[in-house]
Amino acid sequence: MSFGSFSAPPPDPRWSMPVPEARAWVFAGFWWRVLAYLIDVIALGMLHRFIALAFTPAVTITYGGASGEGASDIAWRTTQAADFSVSSPMILMPHVHWHGSGVYESLSFLLPALYYILFEASALRATPGKLACRMRVTDLHGRRIGLLRAGVRYFAKFLSLLTLGVGFLMAGWTLRKQALHDLIAETVVIRSRPTPPVLFTPSS
């Protein structure tokens, strides 16, 4: 007995197509901001090292020696990029002799400011550290901030530092998770996080 041909029903498109993950923007908490800061510190350290190698001569530092007052039988040398040379007859106490152009020092001072201001005022709205943590810096209405506001936010961090760090800790208890420099610049730091799917909705 033949039952004829049988074909499976077409797949439900609701299940055959990938469902995009639902995400929501929330105010970034204190520890997320700490993690983003540590990532930015590493990135800035790499940029700082590149500038040091590009704009400064390599000098050799000698510690200890076999002659002079305070001589030691232990001596070693290390070579580094610097805008100064180091030497001293005293053990482990090098003395700095300036002979640089100042380019390295100027760039070292400007680099952190340019890093934070340009990244946060850009279309990215975040530094690489914040991007890695799915964070953005916006104004109080969620809009992109400009160079002026980004600059105010950066230099206001020195006020957060002068409060013995309390200005940074404020991000842990303020309503919008704002640190002192956020309050001054009228900015917020937001983070994208997944939202759990709604599996059941009770009837009223």
DSSP for 51-120, please give it. HHHHHS-EEEEEEEESSSTT-EEEEEEEEEE-SEEEE-SSTT--EEEE---SHHHHHHHHHHHHHHHHHH
Give the residue with greater pLDDT, 107 vs 33: 33
Q: Rounded to an integer, what distance in angstroms lies between the CA atom of residue 123 and that of residue 202?
A: 42
pLDDT in tens, 25-38: 889 989 999 999 99
What is the per-residue pLDDT for 55? Answer: 64
What's the predicted TM-score (pTM) here? 0.64
What is the per-residue pLDDT for 73? Answer: 46
Q: Which of 45-59, 80-94, 101-115 shows the lowest mean pLDDT across its residues?
A: 80-94
What is the per-residue pLDDT for 77? Answer: 46
What is the per-residue pLDDT for 70? Answer: 46
120 pLDDT higher than 50: yes
Give the residue with greater pLDDT, 75 vs 126: 126
Give the residue with greater pLDDT, 195 vs 149: 149
Any idea what the Cα angle at residue 22 is, between residues 16 and 23, rounded to 5°?
155
pLDDT in tens, 33-63: 999 999 999 999 888 888 777 766 554 445 4
What is the per-residue pLDDT for 163? Answer: 87
What is the per-residue pLDDT for 51? Answer: 74
47 SS3 class: helix
What percent of the chain is modeled with pLDDT above 70?
59
Q: What is the mean pLDDT of the chain?
A: 74
CA distances 197 to 21, 26, 87, 157, 204, Å, are 9, 17, 65, 38, 20
Listed residue (10, 9, 32, 1) closest to 179, CA to CA: 32
Q: What is the DSSP letter of 182?
A: H
pLDDT in tens, 138-183: 999 989 999 999 999 999 999 988 988 898 999 989 989 999 999 9
